[in-house]
């Protein structure tokens, strides 16, 4: 796919998710078939630039290009400075967050709260585009503030007129959070009204659903968020299905054990052992959700304090799985979609932008 001046492997995008789309996860998704992975959002507050969290989010060492960094905030000048700050540190695409529905973000009029103030949206977009004239700027937003105010078409036109190069739209309003089903009619309407690329997002959990959303919206690509948690190989499954019309068989247990092991080692190296163990727990939970015996395994895993104990427990769990089935076999959902779906507790700690 040709996208804002870059040639991507395909039209499959990893959605920015706070606490999830760190460098190890982005690299893994790209390796397993994603065309582009957008970073978790980086604050526009310059007072926080020196924090460990912000420094990690701005760390793109060894990452496959193009590097897309999402920034969040509500002040045009600060957003412009944040764009320049991240471009200076390797960002090749700047993405603006107007989709996050989290209260702590919306309460400071950032994220999807910005959709209530269209003139402010225009000022922010124009300021960021002007600040980094040689870097493409994209925008992610929702269908509206609530179901009575679906102003995505207006926001999209403002974006195009402001010099935004592409938009991604989540098929829910801010008021919807992640409840109910995503709708795609608004995305289709936006696609008909603007000339820049449109990426569709929301409830894309299977290869068949990806094709349906592309056909229903006419979108140029699809963006996958929560369905990739614990199932980063969903991108190669969708890629194969879109190319051939055929579904890949479930992956082998041995392969997923290797993928998870490499992912965890990257997390330990990226965060350090102490923090890495804590971060690893949620990923291990997502990888194993729905697999036979995983409930007891996940409970026990969350009590283990060291890297060595995590490694040993994973080896034992996957040895048992491999003895029973060559390929992944899910108890809750034979399609395997459950492994990539966040439950209610996950949603509290993971903010899909």
Cβ pair 351, 18 in contact under 8 A: yes
Give the residue among 193, 157, 72, 76 at the shortest CA–CA distance from 124: 76
CA Rg value for the chain:
20
- Burial annotation 291-310 (CB, 10 A radius, 16+ → b, else e): beebeebbeebeebeebeeb
Catalytic residue among 36, 100, 169, 277: 100
What is the rounded CA–CA span in Å between residue 27 and residue 74? 29
- Count of all residues that appear for the chain in the document: 353
Helices 294-301, 307-324: inter-axial angle, 10-degree rounding: 170
Strands (E), the chain: 2-3, 6-7, 12-14, 17-18, 36-37, 42-43, 68-72, 93-98, 137-142, 166-170, 198-201, 221-224, 351-352
Handedness of CA 342, 344, 345, 347 (dihedral sign): positive
Cβ of 345: how many Cβ atoms within 10 Å?
10
Instruction: Verify whether residue 100 is a known catalytic residue.
Output: yes
First to last CA, the chain: 23
Give the residue among 70, 5, 15 at the shortest CA–CA distance from 37: 15
Residue 266: both structure tokens together: 């990257």
What is the rounded CA–CA span in Å between residue 295 and residue 285? 9
What is the rounded CA–CA span in Å between residue 229 and residue 178? 15
Give the residue among 141, 106, 107, 136 at the shortest CA–CA distance from 121: 141
Residues designated as active site: 100
């Amino acid at each position: 796919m040709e996208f804002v001046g870059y040639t991507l492997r395909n039209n499959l995008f990893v959605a920015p998710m706070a606490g999830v789309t760190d460098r190890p996860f982005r690299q893994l998704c790209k390796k397993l078939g994603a065309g582009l992975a957008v970073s978790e959002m980086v604050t526009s507050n310059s007072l926080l630039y020196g924090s460990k969290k912000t420094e990690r989010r701005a760390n793109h060492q060894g990452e496959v290009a193009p590097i897309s960094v999402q920034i969040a905030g509500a002040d045009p000048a600060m957003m412009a400075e944040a764009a320049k700050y991240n471009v200076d540190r390797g960002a090749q695409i700047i993405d603006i967050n107007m989709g996050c529905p989290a209260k702590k973000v919306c309460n400071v009029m950032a994220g999807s709260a910005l959709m209530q103030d269209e003139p402010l949206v225009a000022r922010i977009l124009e300021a960021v585009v002007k600040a980094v004239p040689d870097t493409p700027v994209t925008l992610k937003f929702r269908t509206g503030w609530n179901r009575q105010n679906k102003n995505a078409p207006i926001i999209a036109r403002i974006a195009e007129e402001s010099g935004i190069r592409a938009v991604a739209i989540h098929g829910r309003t801010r008021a919807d959070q992640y409840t109910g089903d995503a709708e795609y009619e608004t995305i289709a309407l936006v696609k008909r009204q603007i000339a820049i690329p449109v990426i569709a997002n929301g409830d894309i959990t299977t290869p068949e659903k990806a094709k349906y959303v592309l056909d229903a919206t006419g979108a140029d690509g699809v963006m996958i968020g929560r369905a990739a948690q614990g199932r980063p190989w969903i991108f190669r499954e969708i890629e194969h299905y879109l190319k051939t019309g055929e579904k890949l068989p479930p992956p082998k247990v041995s392969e997923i054990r290797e993928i998870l092991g490499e992912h965890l080692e990257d997390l330990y190296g990226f965060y350090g052992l102490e923090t890495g163990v804590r971060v690893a727990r949620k990923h291990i939970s997502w990888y194993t959700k729905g697999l036979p015996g995983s409930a007891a395994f996940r409970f026990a895993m969350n009590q283990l304090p060291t890297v060595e104990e995590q490694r040993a427990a994973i080896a034992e769990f996957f040895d048992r799985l491999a003895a029973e089935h060559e390929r992944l076999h899910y108890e809750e959902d034979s399609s395997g979609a459950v492994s990539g779906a966040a439950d209610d507790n996950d949603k509290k700690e993971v903010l899909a932008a």
